[in-house]
Structure 1
Amino acid sequence: MSGASRQPSLRATAILAASLTAISSPAHADPLPAGFVRLADVDRSIRQDVRYAGRENFLHRRVDGYDAPVCILTEKAARALSSVQKAIGPKGLTLVVFDCYRPARAVADMREWTKQGGPPDPRWYPTIGRGDLIAKGYVGELSSHSRGSTVDLAITAMDKKSAIHPACGAANTGTFDFGTGFDCFDPASETAHRPLAAEAAANRKMLVAAMLAAGFRNYAREWWHFTLVGEPFPKRRFDFPVTAN
């Protein structure tokens, strides 16, 4: 058989092989937008306990846009957060992050959820109804989290295993006592709230000082909420989903 007669078969074989490779190769998620990173790729030592990817949050369900319990931040914010970890690590301490970048669709999900109304929830918003959470400033129409340089977090000992079960907010497994849990929608969550137990007040002061030294400013109504000063996208809000890869 001549070379000319064999050529079509060779081409067909190559096409078939390429097709089989395409079918067997796993699909890869789209890369993050330029300027964003997964925190674990910058600093794996920072603990992640991302609450909106599960049920341990004020909605009692996964929030739209959280496809994985993963912290995503702008690279600038992630590296600044890593500098906090490096500063407190020698003291036997570690950061624990509860939320990082938040898709705009998640903010919309929270906003629509409040419109359903309902009575106070002693676990999360003990003194006001669900429908008043936006008016009282506890749930935002927009969120700085969607800009990618805001983070909700606490501090604990690296070897701490016990759980704190506060009267209000998330059960902060393994964190120090900050007086309330994360996402307690109540005046007691204000960073400078008084009266406050001495230990909780000292822990809040320690957290604010550590974050301030790395260029983060605290939101006075939430002891856990910090935004990077000089954030790279101060006027943009993103809506890509939170994924593991």
Structure 2
Amino acid sequence: MRAVRLILIALVAFSLISSASAQSLPGGFVYLRDIDPSIIQDIRYATSNNFVGRPLAGYGAGECVVKREVGLRLKAVQQELAAQNLSLKMFDCYRPARASLDMVKWSQNGHETAAERRYNPNIPKTELFRLGYIANRSQHSTGAALDLTLVDLKADNSAKYDPSKTYADCTAPVAMRAPEGSVDMGTGYDCTDAKGHTAVTSINPEQRTWRKRLVAAMARQGFVNYSKEWWHFSLPGAGGAAYDFPIQPRRN
């Protein structure tokens, strides 16, 4: 009996060690859910709902992983927004370096589908890197860059993306675009078009106001917006080396 008990104890210990190692993160990284579970997550590169049309290499789970300082500052932004019945919604956080290489291969595969063109209706995908919309070496891989938007918690956000439907491109009116469960920023997420530039004037006043509110809320915690993408922010000084560890499921 004692031998059986020892075996059971050993198995439990092994299970705990395996579970811990499966979710261990290097270099001061954390799961954002452990910092602030109220922040909405829709990690698009872990799904087929993105410009590549499939999960990217390294995205084994739809979890936002960031450097701890970044997570704490996002929590502060969220606390401010909560008083306004708003929430952050994360589209991408830490990005394994292999995912950026996956994007490079995608851009060079020699064809573009109609679904892909929804994201870059006016620019050939072979030009996206040269024009600065996608980087070979992404700041996301340092854990200090983020893609995000705002959600109005009082609005009806129930509409979901349906892969069987044909949607208009990312610059079309919001009712024609793929639903994102967020406020109307004038374009969809990852829209590689001039209308996706943060300060563009060819969107309506309400859309410009939403962009300004997002930029201002993030700036109060030190985040800097990338001018060609209203959704992209980074925290200067919080990055460092690029990483390539895969994103794995978070365990409680």
TM-score by structure 1 length?
A: 0.87
Count of aligned pairs: 233
Provide the secondary structure at the position in 1 that maps to 2:90. Answer: strand
Of 32, 37, 59, the residue aligned with 1:39 is 32
TM-score by structure 2 length?
A: 0.84
Could you say which residue in structure 2 is the equivalent of 1:177?
184
Of 70, 82, 99, the residue aligned with 2:63 is 70
The separation in 1 between residues aligned to 2:72 and 2:95, in whole angstroms, is: 18
Q: Deviations over 1:42-75 (max 9, x none)?
A: 0011000000000000000000000000000000
1:132 is aligned to 2:137: no
Could you say which residue in structure 1 is the equivalent of 2:50?
57
After TM superposition, the structure 1 = structure 2 runs for residues 157-236 of structure 1, keeping only pairs within 5 Å, are 157-162=152-157, 163=159, 167-168=169-170, 171-231=178-238, 233-234=239-240, 236=241
Q: What is the alpha-carbon root mean square deviation over aligned residues?
A: 2.4
Verify the 8 A CA contact 2:23 2:248 in the aligned structure 1: no
Provide the secondary structure at the position in 2 that maps to 1:168. Answer: coil
Amino acid in structure 2 at the alignment position of 1:136: L
Question: 72-81 or 28-37, which moves further after superposition?
Answer: 28-37
Could you say which residue in structure 2 is the equivalent of 1:5?
none
Provide the secondary structure at the position in 1 that maps to 2:117. Answer: coil
Could you say which residue in structure 2 is the equivalent of 1:4?
none
Q: Segments of 4+ in structure 1 off by > 6 A?
A: none
Bigger Rg, which one? 1
Verify the 8 A CA contact 1:156 1:176 in the aligned structure 2: yes
The separation in 1 between residues aligned to 2:40 and 2:183, in whole angstroms, is: 14
**Aligned-pair CA distance for 1:149:** 1.1
**Aligned-pair CA distance for 1:15:** 9.7
The separation in 2 between residues aligned to 1:191 and 1:73, in whole angstroms, is: 23
Of 144, 153, 177, the residue aligned with 1:149 is 144
The separation in 2 between residues aligned to 1:126 and 1:75, in whole angstroms, is: 37
**Aligned-pair CA distance for 1:24:** 8.3
1:239 is aligned to 2:209: no
The separation in 1 between residues aligned to 2:68 and 2:168, in whole angstroms, is: 33
Alignment CA distance shift 1:151-1:92 (3 Å): same
Unaligned runs of 5+ in 1: 1-8
Of 81, 86, 93, the residue aligned with 2:79 is 86
Alignment CA distance shift 1:213-1:24 (3 Å): closer
Amino acid in structure 2 at the alignment position of 1:17: I
**Aligned-pair CA distance for 1:135:** 1.6
Verify the 8 A CA contact 1:161 1:173 in the aligned structure 2: no
Amino acid in structure 2 at the alignment position of 1:167: D
**Aligned-pair CA distance for 1:85:** 0.3
Alignment CA distance shift 1:22-1:93 (3 Å): closer
Question: 161-170 or 124-133, which moves further after superposition?
Answer: 161-170
Q: Deviations over 1:157-194 (max 9, x none)?
A: 12333349773178352200000011011111000112
The separation in 2 between residues aligned to 1:172 and 1:43, in whole angstroms, is: 25
Question: 164-173 or 115-124, which moves further after superposition?
Answer: 164-173
The separation in 2 between residues aligned to 1:23 and 1:33, in whole angstroms, is: 22
1:21 is aligned to 2:21: no
**Aligned-pair CA distance for 1:132:** 1.8
The separation in 2 between residues aligned to 1:87 and 1:130, in whole angstroms, is: 38
Provide the secondary structure at the position in 2 that maps to 1:78. Answer: helix
Question: 146-155 or 26-35, which moves further after superposition?
Answer: 26-35
Report sequence identity in percent.
39
Q: Deviations over 1:101-138 (max 9, x none)?
A: 00001111111111113348431110122222212222
